[in-house]
Amino acid sequence: MDLGIFNEFWDGVHPHHLPLLNLIDSGASNQWNLTISLQRLNAIVEKNPEQSVQEGVIALLAYHDWRSHLVACLVILRLPSSARSILLDHFWKRLSLGSWVCPQILVALSLVDRNFEMKAEKILHDGLAMYAQSLSVTDEQKSQGSSRASTPSERKTKAAIEFLLKNTLNDTPDSDSGGLIASRWKKRLLKLMELKSVAFYEIFISW
């Protein structure tokens, strides 16, 4: 896979994406943990021109694996608003294609897209425009986090949106805990930003 400048985020030894999944720094390892993962992303963004970062985020979202989608969520929060604008459509398209980390994608979008509420309401009303014809069965399964048929991404997406728009958890047996995941990830993300305990968020630009 070619993920541009973000190829170096993974060192081939440690799963640096895993701490981003729950945003918990257990401190169990001094070789890979949340702080190290965020520092690695920060270093990549800092040393590369803005255009290269944008191209890298697009590559992360275009790839079918949920691990790269998760990394993209953290990177867009690190960028100034001027650099985010051209990336928003790529995040919404990834939602349409399906991703196992759709709750995390939606949390990130809720913080950076001024039109989030309108777009999210449209998904609740009209559903996702699934581009299944552009994905092979294997690719679609990988993007949704499973090697077999998994809970439809649309139901998980809608459950996450219900929480983000209405602050209510309406998870059902077939929504794969989308609302709960969005709730916990947003809470932990905002706590990190509030405390500024991780250098990655020190220049986070809010509205």
* SS3 labels along 2-56: CCHHHHHHCCCCCCCCHHHHHCCCCCCCCCCCHHHHHHHHHHHHHHCCHHHHHHH
Q: Which residues contact 91 (CB under 8 A, 6 or more apart)?
A: 61, 72, 76, 105, 108, 109, 113
Top mean-pLDDT range of 26-35, 69-78, 142-151:
69-78
pTM of the predicted structure, to 2 decimals: 0.85
Top mean-pLDDT range of 2-11, 108-117, 121-130:
108-117
What value does the CA radius of gyration of the chain take, rounded to a whole number of Å?
16
- Residues 94, 105 contacting (CB under 8 angstroms): yes
**Angstrom distance (rounded) from CA 197 to CA 39:** 12
First to last CA, the chain: 35
**Angstrom distance (rounded) from CA 129 to CA 126:** 8
- Residues 48, 42 contacting (CB under 8 angstroms): no
Model confidence at 200: pLDDT above 50: no
CA separation, residue 188 to residues 22, 23, 197 (Å): 8, 6, 12
Model confidence at 202: pLDDT above 60: no
What are the residue boundaries of the structural domains of the chain, listed by start? 4-201
pLDDT band at residue 2 under the 50/70/90 scheme: confident
Q: Which residues contact 10 (CB under 8 A, 6 or more apart)?
A: 16, 17
- Residues 200, 42 contacting (CB under 8 angstroms): yes
Look up residue 137 and give its DSSP letter. Answer: H
- Residues 62, 9 contacting (CB under 8 angstroms): no
Q: For residue 30, what pLDDT is reported?
A: 81
Under DSSP, is residue 190 helix (H, G, I), strand (E, B) or coil? helix
What mean pLDDT value characterizes the chain? Answer: 84
